[in-house]
A and B are shown apart, each in its own frame.
Chain A
């Protein structure tokens, strides 16, 4: 089941189109990565899902219901640009934001105590936000995003501004929340975290969605069919043994060890290639070169930019 479906979202500003017919399905209890270069329209889409702005056309469904004001209580949002009232005390502020999300005061207090203890910041309850370090503020901000146990958690660049230890803490919390049944939509440029965390992604470029699906499928679709083989033996004999299964690409010889990249010919399988080269040389390693999400991201975006005539708009 999809927790959120966006159907044909269009959002135009005076001089440009921020989102052009974007459709998305976010499966429940998954981590969904929303990727795209700066100004692609990610923030516009996130704001529409948060009902901060409305689309010009298109519809959003939350658990198959049309998105409406009552759903804000089931969404938690951590914007990319973090902010809290600087002059307000941490606890008081967190309570206020919790109540705006529809929580009862007593309940919010209990929840907040739990989170504050978990993040070891309960001593800061009565401090003003401006007295906190940046990392502390980020923790507070994360807590106010998740305290009302939203079904959908929208995190815009959640790891920016955290040191590696805290980033790890947040990462584990995200996985925890997923295990407890939340769905996480996060927007990021950090491809490492995408590979590590995301089950699904959507790639937006120039206000259009260009790729979406499960990370596994996308990698499969984008696999290059290049096999890297390390072997000892005669390079000439090896090349001849490729037969029609593959073509020799980059190769190098370092002492006894030869390394070669073979592009499989369409229709051939890696097994056919392996059995063909087995008699000729001694194999040390045989692996398929899988493109990283980063490669896919760059490839897709530059393909899109080469095709597109629109100038890249930066918000």
Chain B
């Protein structure tokens, strides 16, 4: 046991001291925070005020297009040709030309001429505003009372609250988008962790085999000790990295939000986050109604409705157990082959369930209690990813327990299997190993 600790220590320290580890540990959070902060920061940067001259030949819109904080409209009394000719002498960013017959088929001939590409939101603003105004004009032209329409629209906009009702009658708010987000993030992390560190285990085993140190070490310890020492050592490296990432990201994020984003109200950030995590499209129809406050408080409430503590605990469990199960297999591959090039044929069958589980994540999200979701959250090879996707939606405790038990069994089984391949393969040189060969190794006597 003492020796296995020595091995764990070496595996851990030799990796943690590597430049690549330190670099990854520092760059990871910077990247992550960058991905989170930069879009928010960019979007809140007051982009230069854009000035647009409107040549409105129909006179329907003159002076009426709503201004936005960074878009300004002027209505100079000149013709389109004049505007075009003098365009580059002025500081206008764009010319908006509305033909005189806009009410009679000219609506599809509106032009926006610009020097440099306008921002998407500016274009959308113009399009939306003109569209809306034209719509109202058309209604008025046909003697429809615009106010009726407005009123009807307002009163017919519904809002549905989704709540889960439990047996005792307690209501629980649910937010599918939020659950999807949490599940997906957790699943992605498990997927990458297993891959990244599983391959590290495989490389480590191969390094020992090809450098031939393995025979020296095996004269002191049992093959199983060496294999487990490596797997556990690398797991600790992974946990260290994960922990450092969480700590660094949080620090960086709070630092960044305190400095770069200090002008931006917290509300805004949260709203953007919501947009990012849920990926919901901004509803232009609703924009005018200032729904911010409701949405944010709802999101915060929804967050409270998710049992983050048990999700985090489950995450750690699936994170570790999934890794342990897969890394034993990776170790066996490393032991069986002589060079990295030979790993491919054995890698494929191992990575397929992992990639597959990630592939069906979308379907699982659509129907978290469906039979597909339930089955694949039980099978050990797919359960770490699939169960994490399901968990935020609420999974019966017995299902979680069963899945965990299966995963532990799976881990014990793959470790047993891997140990048998490992102890034979690690001392076998210059042999092209086939599946059949691996099968035979399982039955060799130690």
Residues of A in contact with B (beta carbons under 8 Å apart) = 13-14, 47, 50-54, 56, 69, 72, 75, 77, 79, 81-88, 96-97, 99-101, 141, 144-145
Residues of B in contact with A (beta carbons under 8 Å apart) = 3, 6-7, 10, 14, 207-208, 211-223, 423, 427, 429, 440, 444-446
B216 x A97 contact (CB < 8 A): yes
- Choose one: A14, A56, A79, A97; the contact of B440 (CB below 8 Å): A14
B219 x A77 contact (CB < 8 A): yes
- Choose one: B14, B214, B219, B440; the contact of A50 (CB below 8 Å): B219
B220 x A53 contact (CB < 8 A): no
Q: Which chain A residues border B7 with CB–CB below 8 Å?
A: 100
- Choose one: B3, B219, B440; the contact of A51 (CB below 8 Å): B219
Q: Which chain B residues border A52 with CB–CB below 8 Å?
A: 215, 218-219, 223, 427
Asked, given contacts A83-B213, A85-B213, whether A99 binds B445 with beta carbons under 8 Å apart, the answer is no
A54 x B212 contact (CB < 8 A): no
- Choose one: B6, B14, B221, B445; the contact of A87 (CB below 8 Å): B14
Give the docked Cα–Cα distance between A145 and B213 (Å). Answer: 12
> Chain B's nearest CB lies how many Å from the CB of A77?
4
Asked, given contacts A14-B440, A96-B10, A99-B6, whether A53 binds B219 with beta carbons under 8 Å apart, the answer is no
B220 x A97 contact (CB < 8 A): yes
B211 x A85 contact (CB < 8 A): yes
Q: Which chain B residues border A101 with CB–CB below 8 Å?
A: 220
Give the docked Cα–Cα distance between A79 and B427 (Å). Answer: 12
Interface of A is mostly: loop
- Choose one: A13, A47, A84, A100; the contact of B220 (CB below 8 Å): A100
Instruction: For the A-B complex with A81-B215, A100-B221 known, give 16 more contacts whose Cβ atoms are closer than 8 Å.
Output: A14-B440, A47-B427, A53-B427, A53-B446, A69-B222, A72-B220, A72-B221, A77-B215, A77-B216, A79-B212, A83-B216, A85-B14, A86-B211, A96-B10, A97-B217, A100-B220
- Choose one: A50, A75, A85; the contact of B218 (CB below 8 Å): A50
Q: Which chain A residues border B208 with CB–CB below 8 Å?
A: 85
> Chain A's nearest CB lies how many Å from the CB of B166?
56
Give the docked Cα–Cα distance between A75 and B211 (Å). Answer: 22
Q: Which chain B residues border A56 with CB–CB below 8 Å?
A: 445
Q: Closest B-chain residue to A77, C-beta based? A: B219
> Chain B's nearest CB lies how many Å from the CB of A170?
17
Give the docked Cα–Cα distance between A26 and B216 (Å). Answer: 22
Q: Which chain B residues border A53 with CB–CB below 8 Å?
A: 423, 427, 446
Give the docked Cα–Cα distance between A144 and B207 (Å). Answer: 19
Give the docked Cα–Cα distance between A56 and B222 (Å). Answer: 17
Q: Which chain B residues border A144 with CB–CB below 8 Å?
A: 216
Give the docked Cα–Cα distance between A99 and B7 (Å). Answer: 10
Give the docked Cα–Cα distance between A68 and B423 (Å). Answer: 18
Asked, given contacts A53-B427, A54-B445, A87-B14, whether A100 binds B3 with beta carbons under 8 Å apart, the answer is yes
Q: Which chain B residues border A97 with CB–CB below 8 Å?
A: 216-217, 220
Which of the listed residues B211, B219, B423, B427 has the most CB atoms from chain A within 10 Å of its own CB? B219
Q: Which chain B residues border A47 with CB–CB below 8 Å?
A: 215, 427
Which of the listed residues B211, B214, B444 has the most CB atoms from chain A within 10 Å of its own CB? B211
> Chain A's nearest CB lies how many Å from the CB of B5?
10
> Chain A's nearest CB lies how many Å from the CB of B29?
26
Q: Which chain A residues border B220 with CB–CB below 8 Å?
A: 72, 97, 100-101
Give the docked Cα–Cα distance between A75 and B219 (Å). Answer: 8
Q: Closest A-chain residue to B214, C-beta based? A: A83
Give the docked Cα–Cα distance between A56 and B446 (Å). Answer: 8
Q: Which chain B residues border A54 with CB–CB below 8 Å?
A: 445-446
- Choose one: B3, B207, B215, B445; the contact of A79 (CB below 8 Å): B215
Q: Closest A-chain residue to B217, C-beta based? A: A100
Q: Which chain A residues border B14 with CB–CB below 8 Å?
A: 85, 87-88
Q: Which chain B residues border A85 with CB–CB below 8 Å?
A: 14, 207-208, 211, 213
Give the docked Cα–Cα distance between A15 and B423 (Å). Answer: 18
